[in-house]
Amino acid sequence: MIDELLRPFDFEFFRNGLLVATMAGALCGAIGVYVVLKGMSYIGHGLSHALFGGFAASSLLGVNFLLGAGAWGIASALMINTVTRRRVIGSDAAIGVITTASFALGLALFALFGTAGRSFDAALFGSILGVGTDDVIAIFVVSILAFALIFLRYRALLFTTFDPEVADVAGVDTARMDALLTVVLACSILATMQVLGVTLVAAVLVIPAAIARMLTNSFARMLQFATGIGAVCGFVGMNLSYHLDVQSGPTIVLTAATLFAIVFVTTGVTGRRRAAAITARGPVAAR
């Protein structure tokens, strides 16, 4: 039994995949706290789809995937951030247009020219088979950048997330904080796309944060819990992916969803009240 469980560790692709999945879970768990609390879940979902356009274009043009899709993702992220802050048109509508157009472009490019390099299915649903050293390096670099941002700008990010208007008065450059967070979100989605897939990455951003919210009323603890929960879900989900012979994205998401259900039931009314509060939006317009 133990031998069977340890057997995949003999393969380098699995060790790489497991490392990337665990780090991806921790990264998405931490970033997901801000995504959930700022009500940016739709942006996370949209950005992952927008990146698919960059993935298709870079695949077609033979450009390095991380650079091509990365540039595409950061441009989309900044565009979404600008639209959201300026409120020129409804942010939901603007995000919908930008991200679904990008996703549709990716699908059209694949339909017209076929795939080169990375597989279409892997991009959509994640796969451990294609995880290489460049993916390990990418997730490592993005994780360091993201956790450095969270650590060094913890107070400003917390204030911006909780109360952006007062944070502004207190001297926080909230526009810069929002832009940094959106760019880190785009980079995180890009770096985790290989194991999670664009269609499922949004779930890994949201579920660990939602579980952590049910467990605590403290922001600092929510951040720690979500990071740990994300890492555990990535580790367990990747192992299940190998043993069940199912794509890695679905197994990681299902692991997280199962944990959510367990915590939802065991924390009772308190947990449910906290989880329900996640959808509550913040500032109300006033004159």
Partner 1 sequence: MTGRHELLALTGVTCGYVDEAVLVGVDLTIHDREFVGIVGPSGAGKTTALRVLAGSMHPARGRVARRPGLRMAYVPQVETINWSFPVTVFECVLMARVTGRRLPWASRAERAQVADVLARLDIGDLADRHIRELSGGQQQRVFIARALLGEPQLLLMDEPTSGVDVRLRHEIMHLLDDLNSRGMAIVLTTHDLNGIAAHLPRIVCLNRSVIGDGAPHEVLNADVLERTYGASMQVLEHGGMPVVVDGYRRAHAPHHAESHHA
Residues that bind partner 1 (CB under 8 A): 37, 87, 151-156, 158-159, 161-163, 165-172, 213, 216-220, 222, 274, 277-278, 280-284, 286-287
Please state the closest distance from residue 219 (CB atom) to partner 1, in A.
5
Which residue lies nearer to partner 1 by CB, 266 or 279?
279
Which residue lies nearer to partner 1 by CB, 86 or 243?
86
Which residue lies nearer to partner 1 by CB, 268 or 282?
282
Which residue lies nearer to partner 1 by CB, 119 or 217?
217
Q: Report the amino acid identity of residue 153.
A: R
Task: Evaluate whether 218 touches 37 at the Cβ level (below 8 Å).
Answer: no
Nearest CA to 186 among 89, 272, 81? 81
Please state the closest distance from residue 252 (CB atom) to partner 1, in A.
24
Tokens encoding 273:
């009240």
Please enumerate, as own/partner, the contacts of 220-227 that have beta carbons within 8 Å and a separation of 24 or more: 222/33, 223/30, 223/33, 223/150, 226/29, 226/30, 226/32, 226/33, 227/26, 227/29, 227/30
Q: Provide the phi-psi class of 22: left if phi over 0, else alpha when psi is between -120 and 50, else beta.
A: alpha
Which residue lies nearer to partner 1 by CB, 32 or 106?
32
Cα gap 269→271, rounded to integer Å? 6
Please state the closest distance from residue 78 (CB atom) to partner 1, in A.
22
Q: Which helix (H) or strand (E) holds 204?
A: helix 201-215
Cα gap 258→252, rounded to integer Å? 10
Which residue lies nearer to partner 1 by CB, 69 or 172?
172
Please state the closest distance from residue 122 (CB atom) to partner 1, in A.
35
Please state the closest distance from residue 161 (CB atom) to partner 1, in A.
8
CA angle 254, 255, 259 (to 5 degrees): 110
Please state the closest distance from residue 249 (CB atom) to partner 1, in A.
28
